Chains A and B, each alone.
Chain A
Amino acid sequence: MKSSVITFPGSNCDRDMDVALKKFGFKNKMVWHADAELPKSDLVVLPGGFSYGDYLRCGSMASKSKIMQSVINFANSGGMVMGICNGFQILVETGLVPGVLLRNKYLEFICKNVFVKINDKKNKYFKNVDNEVFEFHIAHNEGNYFCTNDQLKEIEDNNQIAINYCDENGKIEDQFNPNGSLKNIAGIFNKEKNVLGMMPHPERMIDTSLSGEDGSLFFKNLINNLK
């Protein structure tokens, strides 16, 4: 399985993602934002970080960079595209997934482990996963998911919510919402579910001695689903 991680000026989780993808069997290539051509890939990842210093709106500049036109074409032809954290912010700015990510409700940069519940398994990202709940890491200032009422209705009708913030038992309540996200949304799909944007970082949970193993479960499952 071949993957590509896009590096934007200000990306800082690109190498973590590279390590994670390789650890679970992907042949990964790093792709510079100013390149026009996307290498042949089974998965494209937009990593976390602070692309373009978060100028104007997080992800807005990166969404217009040269490589993104190829990524958008790839996604529109059914290719798997996953945006993590700043990558999620870039995805919403391209319009590939609906909504926006606002400043966290309490204006704090949040850096901690959270639990997320998988809302939908009829997709290549979470199909066959045994867990209902993952423990992942979040580190963001703008993760407060928001969309219009019309968009929310469409998202819910199409079952496009991927994961919600919850407690360790999978209970989705306001008190387990770290950033004020609408409906505790932590991740969302496009309509066809080949594009996934999420705030949590599975690539930070791939080593028992450093963190947890839930990221390992996610990546192992993902590569199996793509084979």
Chain B
Amino acid sequence: MKISVIITLKKDVLDPQGKVIHQTLDGMGFDDVNEVRQGKYFEIDTKENDNDKAKAKVEEMCKKLLANLVIENYKIIDPK
């Protein structure tokens, strides 16, 4: 089963990379952008076939390694 995870920076954490991407987009003529925040995307292929169990395991992975909860939020995308 494949499960996807999106990790984003929390609201009040400075994202200098997102800021530079925003400025560059602005310079390219995409001048209607309000803000850009950069994040991370993971695809985890697990042997677990039970939807709930797999999600619970991935959540544990997020808490223990994939995200740093001081600065990041994680979102697990429901497997289809």
Interface centre among B20, B65, B66 (most CB of A within 10 A): B65
A60 B68 Cβ-Cβ under 8 A: yes
Q: Given the complex of chains A and B, what is the CA–CA distance between A180 and B66 in angstroms?
A: 25
| Given A56-B65, A64-B65, A107-B20, residue A180 in contact with residue B14 (CB < 8 A) | yes
Total chain B interface residues with beta-carbon distance under 8 A: 10
CB-nearest residue of chain B relative to A61? B65
CB-nearest residue of chain B relative to A180? B14
User: How far in angstroms is the closest Cβ of chain B from A109?
Assistant: 13
Tier of interface size on chain A: 10 to 19
User: How far in angstroms is the closest Cβ of chain A from B62?
Assistant: 12
B70 A147 Cβ-Cβ under 8 A: yes
Task: For B16, give its contact among A60, A64, A99, A106 (CB under 8 Å).
Answer: A106
A146 B65 Cβ-Cβ under 8 A: no
Q: Given the complex of chains A and B, what is the CA–CA distance between A19 and B72 in angstroms?
A: 38
Q: Let me know if B17 is at the binding interface, CB within 8 A.
A: yes
What B residues does A100 contact at CB under 8 A?
Answer: 68, 70-71
What B residues does A151 contact at CB under 8 A?
Answer: 70
Q: Let me know if A77 is at the binding interface, CB within 8 A.
A: no
A146 B68 Cβ-Cβ under 8 A: no
Q: Given the complex of chains A and B, what is the CA–CA distance between A100 and B69 in angstroms?
A: 10
B17 A103 Cβ-Cβ under 8 A: yes
User: How far in angstroms is the closest Cβ of chain A from B64?
Assistant: 8
B13 A146 Cβ-Cβ under 8 A: yes
Q: Given the complex of chains A and B, what is the CA–CA distance between A95 and B16 in angstroms?
A: 24
Q: Let me know if A102 is at the binding interface, CB within 8 A.
A: yes
Q: List 10 A-B contacts (CB under 8 A).
A: A56-B65, A57-B68, A60-B65, A60-B68, A93-B68, A100-B71, A102-B14, A103-B16, A107-B17, A146-B71
Which residues of A are at the interface with B, using a C-beta cutoff of 8 A?
Answer: 56-57, 60, 64, 93, 99-100, 102-107, 144, 146-148, 151, 180
Knowing that A144-B14, A147-B70, A148-B70 touch, tell me 20 more A-B residue pairs with CB under 8 angstroms.
A56-B65, A56-B66, A60-B68, A93-B68, A99-B70, A100-B68, A100-B70, A100-B71, A102-B14, A102-B16, A103-B16, A103-B17, A104-B16, A105-B14, A105-B16, A106-B16, A107-B20, A146-B13, A151-B70, A180-B14
Which residues of B are at the interface with A, using a C-beta cutoff of 8 A?
Answer: 13-14, 16-17, 20, 65-66, 68, 70-71
CB-based closest 4 A-B pairs: A100-B70, A107-B16, A100-B71, A100-B68
